[in-house]
Amino acid sequence: MAKIGVIGDRDSVLLFKAVGLDVFFEDEGERANRTLHRLAREGYAAVFVTEKLFPSCQETIEEFKGQAYPAIIPIPDNSGSKGIGERTLRQNVEKAVGMDILSNT
Amino acid sequence: MAAIQVKPTRMELSNLKKRKKVAVRGHKMMKDKRDELVRRFIEFARQNKALREEVEEKLSRAMKSFVLARASMSGAEIEEALMYPARAAEVTAGVQQVLSIQVPKMEISAQEGFTYPYGFATTSADLDLSVQLLAEVLPLLVQLAEIEKACGRLADEIEKTRRRVNALEYVMIPQITETIRRIQMKLDENERGNLTRLMKTKEMLQQQKA
């Protein structure tokens, strides 16, 4: 059985405790990156990171890109979605197909 | 296209012809692989987009009522209510092969009989609502993680495969073709040289006899 982790600021991710996920409070990008790295090595299946911290975690994300686990996924925080998840998806599509085919369908 | 520098011999020629055959076959297979990958990827990407929109919408709603809950309860009360989960959520993590690319396959253990991890005495209704919304969105969140990861891996693989296809199509195969042509010409030229030499000697021999 694998675990799921959540990284984000206290106000946004405290709620995830209630449904039994492992929550880690981080407010600052560099520390979040380190926590994420630790979780990835400890065999978490998925780690959800708030959009605010997601950009500063790129280093770890790149490192684990070539493996099936963990899946590192951006989630909106309590100030709403900033569209980072959408942008990641769009980048993938562009990389794969050569152009953005999702935007106008 | 610059030809590969090899000695113009029959040996090299037959080797190159073999290599070209392999390259052409490899190119065809790579191309098929790329097409199939793209097809699968588009399916995944569509799913991913729909799922992400749904998750973000629901998650925002849960977050919003959590903000309300925070406003109506003291920080300590909220911490107390949430810090001890009813049970840890766990997923079974497997691996699925999509065209021999490993993508994650996660399944969250069913959470039947959802219960609140706290008593109702000190908590507000907004907190109940946000916890309930989050519990509803959790399976979707796991599914999103699975699909988004798969998407990323497929995109990487497609890029790699496309590079290989292009390298074969525009570098390897033209290079080999050019080299084969060059060796062929050189060999033909030698053959002609030899023939004229023979004819010349024969002529000289006949003149000597006469």
Question: B38-92: per-residue pLDDT in tens?
Answer: 898 888 888 888 888 888 888 888 888 888 888 877 777 777 777 776 666 777 7
B117 neighbourhood in chain A, CB within 8 Å: 18
pTM of structure: 0.79
User: Does B68 lie at the interface with A, CB-CB under 8 angstroms?
Assistant: no
For B96, nearest residue in chain A (alpha carbons): A68
Contact check, Cβ <8 Å, A78/B67: yes
Residue B179 lies in a domain: yes
Q: Give the CATH fold of the A4-77 domain.
A: Rossmann fold (3.40.50)
Return the pLDDT at A86: 80
Is the Cβ pair A15, B90 closer than 8 Å? Answer: no
What is this model's ipTM?
0.83
Counting the structural domains of chain B, the total is 1
Residue B100 in domain: yes
Mutate to test the interface with A, among B56, B87, B105, B136 (most CBs of A within 10 A): B56
Cβ neighbours of A14 in B, within 8 Å: 66, 78-79, 82
- Residue B2: inside a domain: no
Give me the domain span that covers residue B91.
10-209
DSSP chain B: -PPP-----HHHHHHHHHHHHHHHHHHHHHHHHHHHHHHHHHHHHHHHHHHHHHHHHHHHHHHHHHHHHHHHS-HHHHHHHHSS-SS--EEEEEEEEETTEEEEEEEEPP--S---SS-SSS--HHHHHHHHHHHHHHHHHHHHHHHHHHHHHHHHHHHHHHHHHHHIIIIIHHHHHHHHHHHHHHHHHHHHHHHHHHHHHHHHHHHHH-
What CATH number does residue B107 fall under? Answer: 1.10.287.3240
